[in-house]
Amino acid sequence: MTHHIIIGAGHAGMAAARELAKHGQVTVIDADPHLPYERPALSKEFLLADSFPDPQSHDWGAITFVGGTRVAEIRPDAHEIRLEDGRVLGYDRLLLTTGGTARALPVAGAEMILGLRDLGDARKLHGLLREALDIAIIGAGVIGLEVASTARKLGLGVHVIELGDRVMARSLPPEISDLLMARHRASGVQFHMGTGLDHLRTRDGRQILHLGDGSDLEVDQTLAGVGFTPDTGLAEAAGIACDHGIVVDGAGRTSAPDIFAAGDVSVFPDSQQSPSRWQTWQHAQRHGSHVARAMAGQSSDYMPLPWFWTDQQGINLQVLGSPLRADHCVLRGAPEGPSTRIYLRDGQVAGAVMIDQGRDTRPLTALIESGASPDPVALADPATPLRNLIPARSAA
C-alpha cells in the first residue's frame, strides 16, 4: 500500500491528509505537542474566551498522527525521513506543509516581544492580556489589528505602531484602510504611524519602547505582528529548491522526486503565472487538497482566487480577488454600514471587499471567474441580485 508522509499538521497538512487517506496509508508528523487546531481563532475567540480552549480530537480514520515530534532530516534519495528521536520512516511520496514562524524584529530588547503563530503563543498572550494594563502592537497587519481589537474588548490601553502611513496596506485599498482605522480609533486604539520600534528596554517592571521618530512609549507588554518567515530549513538542507518559500509547480511538485509542498510555506505559480506565497486559511485548505490529489495521480494546475477574512472591532471584513489592481470602485450599500465595494479593472470585476456582507462572496466569485463586465449601475444597486449579473453560461 502506498505510504504518504506529511510534515506539518496545519490546515494544509490536515486537508491533504483527509484527501490522501482515500488512497493509502498516511502519517502526519508535527512538532507542535497539541492535537491539530485552526490558527485563525488564536487571535480572535481564543483570546477572548474566559478559559483558554484546548484543541478537539479528530476522527483519524486511516491517518496516523505523530504529535510533539520534529522531523530532523529528509533523505530524498533513500525516500526516508529521520525524526528528532532517531526514528527513520520510509515514504512513497512526501508532502511538506511546514508553514512558518512569526518574524522577529531585529532590535535590542526583541526577546521581550511576544509573537503570535501557534497555540503556545496564544495561551501565553491570553494570560498576559489579563494581567497587563496596556499593550503596544508593532505592525498594523491582520494579526496586529485583531489583537488590538481583542485587547480593547478586554479593557487594555492599546498602541499600534506602524511604519507605513495606513493599516493593512498590502491587502486593502486606501478607503478600506481609512474606514478600519477610524473604527479602531473610535474604540480607543492609539496609532503611531510612519514610525517603527528602534529598541526596547525595561524600567520598574514596565517596557519602554523607543520609536524611530524619537518618541518613547511606556507599556506592560509588546507584541509584534510584522510578518512571517517560511519554514524552509528542512527542504533547503535536503537540496530542494527554495526562494522565499519552497518552490513548487502548479501541481505542488518540488524540485525533488516524489516530494511535494503546499500551504503557507510554498511558492506556487498563481493565475498570472507569477511566483506567489499566500498566508490565508482558505489557500492552505484548498492548496493542501489540490496537491494531495496530484500526489494520488490526479494532476492539474492550481488556479486559486485569493480570499481571506478578518474580524476586527465588530466588523467582519472579507477580501476577494485583487482589489488593489483595479481602476474603478462601485459601492453597493451604505458607506458606513454593511456594504460591498466591487473593484473593476477595464470594466471587468477584479475584486471585492465585503463589510458584514459575506453572502456576496459566492456570486462575486462567479462574476470574477466568468470575466464578466456588468453594468456598474446594476452592480451598485442592492435591489439587483448579484447572481442576476452572472453571464448565463457561468451561472449554469
Query: Per CB under 6 A, does 9 bind ligand FAD?
Result: yes
Task: In angstroms, give the least distance from the CB of 263 to ligand FAD.
Answer: 2
- The letter for the amino acid at 131 is E
Task: Supply the minimum distance, in Å, between the C-beta of residue 292 and ligand FAD.
Answer: 12
Nearer to ligand FAD, 40 or 323 (CB): 40
Can residue 13 be called a binding residue for ligand FAD (CB under 6 A)?
yes
Least spacing, CB of residue 172 vs ligand FAD, in Å: 14
Q: Does 39 bind ligand FAD (CB under 6 A)?
A: yes
Q: Are 42 and 10 in contact (CB under 8 A)?
A: no
Using a 10 angstrom Cβ sphere, with 0-12 exposed, 13-18 middle and 19 or more buried, the burial of residue 30 is buried
Distance CA 199, CA 211 (A): 7
Taking CB under 6 A as the rule, does residue 42 contact ligand FAD? Answer: yes
Q: H or E segment at 383?
A: none
Interface with ligand FAD (CB under 6 A), residue from 17, 21, 71, 211 = 71
Q: Interacting stretch for ligand FAD, rule CB under 6 A, among 205-213, 307-315, 356-364, 371-379?
A: 307-315
DSSP string for residues in 125-168 = HHHHHHH-SEEEEE--SHHHHHHHHHHHHTT-EEEEEESSSSTT
Q: Which is nearer to ligand FAD, 69 or 190 (CB)?
A: 69
**For residue 348, which amino acid is it?**
Q
Q: Is the dihedral of CA 29, 31, 33, 37 positive or negative?
A: negative
Q: Contact between 114 and ligand FAD (CB under 6 A)?
A: no
Stretch that binds ligand FAD, among 26-34, 205-213, 293-301, 329-337 (CB under 6 A): 26-34
Q: Which stretch binds ligand FAD (CB under 6 A): 52-60, 162-170, 308-316, 378-386?
A: 308-316
- Check residue 309 for interaction with ligand FAD (CB under 6 A): yes
State whether residue 241 is helix, strand or coil.
Answer: coil
Question: By three-state DSSP, how is residue 322 classified?
Answer: coil
* Residue 299 neighbours by CB under 8 Å, 6+ apart: 251, 293
> Nearest distance from residue 176's CB to ligand FAD, in Å?
16
The residues of the shown chain that bind ligand FAD, judged by CB under 6 A, are 7-13, 29-32, 39-40, 42-43, 70-71, 97-99, 116-117, 143, 231, 234, 263-264, 279-282, 284, 308-310
